[in-house]
Structures are given as C-alpha cells and as structure tokens.
Amino acid sequence: QVLLVESGGGLVQAGGPLRLSCAASGRAFSTYNMAWFRQAPGKEREFVSAISSTGASTVYADSVKGRFTISRDNAKNTVYLQMNNLKPEDTAVYYCAVSRLWVVRTAGGYAYWGQGTQVTVSS
C-alpha cells in the first residue's frame, strides 16, 4: 500500500507556470515508477508524464512535451511536475500514480493513485 498526496494546484493565467508535487509514503519510493495523469470534465483520464524509479527515463505526452518537466527527489519521497506556458486546455484534475513496473502510458498499470489536485488555467 502506497499513500500519495498531491499539492500545488491552483488557478493560473495562460502562459504562466505552476509546479505540482506528489509526496509518497513508505521507504520504497526509490523503487517506484511514477507518473502524472490528468482528467478534465467529461473526458477520460489522460497520460501526462512518467519517470522511472531512478529518474533516468522520462516520458511525456505530445501535448505537454517542451512545456512540462517531470522530476523526482528520492531523498524526499517526492515527484514533481513543473508546468510552464500553461494553456486553458491544460485545465484538469492532476493525479500522481505508482507502478512497480515500467508501464508508462497505461493507466491500468498503476496500482496507487493520489487524491488529485485541481489545475485551472484561465485565458
């Protein structure tokens, strides 16, 4: 069992930055592959970014590549999503998730999810 707590969401104007954080419980954080997903009203959960347990590999959805950066600090049991040049279409609830295997884009491959944090981008 892994408990995840997201924070950092809020209201931001288009073009602005926002940084999300996800803190994980336990001593095994350095073995977890982590990802960010998002879900807008009326839409399915969408992959945003993933990072391998060591941080050596990162993957981004085409829609955010070049604007978002995923990172992790294993000493702090925390994964981050730095979001720059935000667009109204980035508005969604953002969730972090844990996978023990490198499943990357497949939501069904992630066993544990945080409660989500709302990101709203105004134009």
Say if residues 100 and 26 touch (Cβ distance below 8 Å): no
Q: Among residues 75, 73, 79, which one has the least CA distance to residue 99? A: 79
Q: What is the pLDDT of residue 100?
A: 93
Q: Among residues 26, 34, 85, which one has the least CA distance to residue 56? A: 34
41-51 pLDDT, tens digit per residue, is 999 999 999 99
Tokens of 13: 């104007």
Residue type, 2: V
- Please give the biggest Cα pair distance in the chain: 41
Question: What is the rounded radius of gyration, in angstroms, for the C-alpha atoms of the chain?
Answer: 13
Q: How far apart are CA 76 and CA 84, in angstroms?
A: 23
Tell me the pLDDT of the chain (123 aa) as tens digits.
899 999 999 999 999 999 999 999 989 999 999 999 999 999 999 999 999 999 999 999 999 999 999 999 999 999 999 999 999 999 999 999 999 999 999 999 999 999 999 999 999
